[in-house]
Amino acid sequence: MRESRPPWGEGRLAAHRGAAVILLVALGACATEAPAVAPAEPLPPLSGAACFVREHDGAATTWRLDLATGATSELGPGFPAAPDPLGQVVLLVASEETAEGHRERLCTVSQPPAGGEFVCAALAPAAEFVRNPAWSPDGSFVVFESSAASFRDLWRAPRGDGEPTRLTDAPHGSFDPAVSPDGTTLAFVSSREGDLELYTQPIAGGEAARRTLAAGDDRAPAWRPDGARLAWLATRGERVSVVTALPDGSDVAELSPETDGAIAFSWSPDGRRLAVLRSAATGAELVVVDAVRGLRLAGAPAVAANAPPAWMPGGDAVLFAAPVEGASRIAALRTEGGAVQVLTSGPGADWLPRAAFVRGAGAPL
């Protein structure tokens, strides 16, 4: 039986044994440093908040970054997931070593009362692997990978009270869940028929339909914001690139060569562009490409962390991990003009940025 454990799932959450958490980033693999690129005119200020991982002295914690002021504050141990559509909580995957072995758990962190401490509220039982959570568009539930009852299957957990329900049952595992913008369809990958292939199935239950047939692994599906197309990472021979298709797998379009060497990607809020972290001849870089023809629109040197770039809600900037003076820092690439702003500093390495979609003043996180 072929080992079907997906290496990108391990990298995304920096799985570890023992007390140390190791950042799966090789700064030596990066291109040149990414100093701030001076714009011709002053840039409009960023607003809202972001979360990111800071690794220092063998520990990984999630931090909050106020994009307007640059102020940072620690939220707690763990790795932040995609932003809450309601802007009320931060979804974290936390891990610990117990008498039973390595355990991971999925929880939410809410804004505490003045002077209070952040509390991590569990959404699902702990297991050896709990990974890659994805929110429903309305924020009412989360779909995630768990080894609670199998090698790795997909589960659905409600936002509030209620027990998680199992969505897949495949011996070789199911991974990388993505919920459609209308909340009705789940896209994911599975090696149940050999290579890792893309599948879709109704959230409400039903049979999974295979959507990819080409030789090679397909992984990390993501819905275009209007739900009209899916994009994913396709391995064909020695080449990995971003491809898009209709949800039934037809009308496949390869966005090559600018996405060749793709490590991770994300759609822009308007669905017209893709931000792609890729490995190029000169090192890792972030590129923004046209989602139809794959034409390069902007780019900057990056850190080769296995984490998708994070678009700001307005689509005017992309948050990513940039190499700065030998360290990994959170930076913003302005999509108009290509200016790069370094947003964090301090000890350790900063990576895995997540833009927080907050709802106006007095905002939660």
**Structural contact between residues 109 and 76, judged by C-beta atoms closer than 8 angstroms:** yes
Q: Is residue 347, in this structure, part of any structural domain at all? A: yes
pLDDT at 247: 97
> What average pLDDT does the chain have?
84
Q: Is the pLDDT of residue 307 over 70?
A: yes
pLDDT in tens, 330-344: 999 999 999 999 999
* DSSP per-residue letters across 161-218: SS--EE----TT-EEEEEE-TTSSEEEEEE-TTSS-EEEEEETTS---EE---SSS-E
- The whole-angstrom separation of Cα 191 and Cα 173 is 7
Which of the four pLDDT bands, split at 50, 70 and 90, describes residue 5?
very low
Mark residue 139 as left, alpha or beta (left: phi above 0; alpha: psi -120 to 50; beta: remaining): left
C-alpha distances (whole Å) from 326 to each of 88, 236, 348 are 35, 33, 11
Which of the four pLDDT bands, split at 50, 70 and 90, describes residue 75?
confident
**Structural contact between residues 340 and 308, judged by C-beta atoms closer than 8 angstroms:** no
Q: Is residue 365, in this structure, part of any structural domain at all? A: no
Between 77 and 243, name the one with better pLDDT.
Answer: 243
Q: Is residue 39, in this structure, part of any structural domain at all? A: no
Q: Is residue 54, in this structure, part of any structural domain at all? A: no
Q: Is the pLDDT of residue 21 over 80?
A: no
Name the domain count of the chain. 1
Q: Is residue 25, in this structure, part of any structural domain at all? A: yes
Q: Which domain CATH number covers 162?
A: 2.120.10.30
Which of the four pLDDT bands, split at 50, 70 and 90, describes residue 83?
confident
Domain interval for residue 299: 7-32+66-356
Q: Is residue 60, in this structure, part of any structural domain at all? A: no
Q: Is the pLDDT of residue 306 over 90?
A: no
pLDDT in tens, 100-136: 899 999 998 876 555 566 677 899 999 999 999 999 9
Which helix (DSSP H) or strand (DSSP E) does residue 155 occupy? strand 153-158
pTM: 0.86
- The whole-angstrom separation of Cα 233 and Cα 185 is 19
Cα separation of the two ends of the chain: 45
pLDDT at 18: 29
pLDDT in tens, 22-68: 233 333 344 455 544 444 567 788 888 899 999 988 888 999 999 98
pLDDT in tens, 165-222: 999 999 889 999 999 999 999 999 999 888 899 999 999 988 999 999 989 999 999 9
Q: Is residue 188, in this structure, part of any structural domain at all? A: yes
**Structural contact between residues 242 and 232, judged by C-beta atoms closer than 8 angstroms:** yes
Q: Which residue has the tokens 């936002």?
A: 159
Q: Is residue 283, in this structure, part of any structural domain at all? A: yes
Q: Is the pLDDT of residue 271 over 50?
A: yes
pLDDT at 111: 61
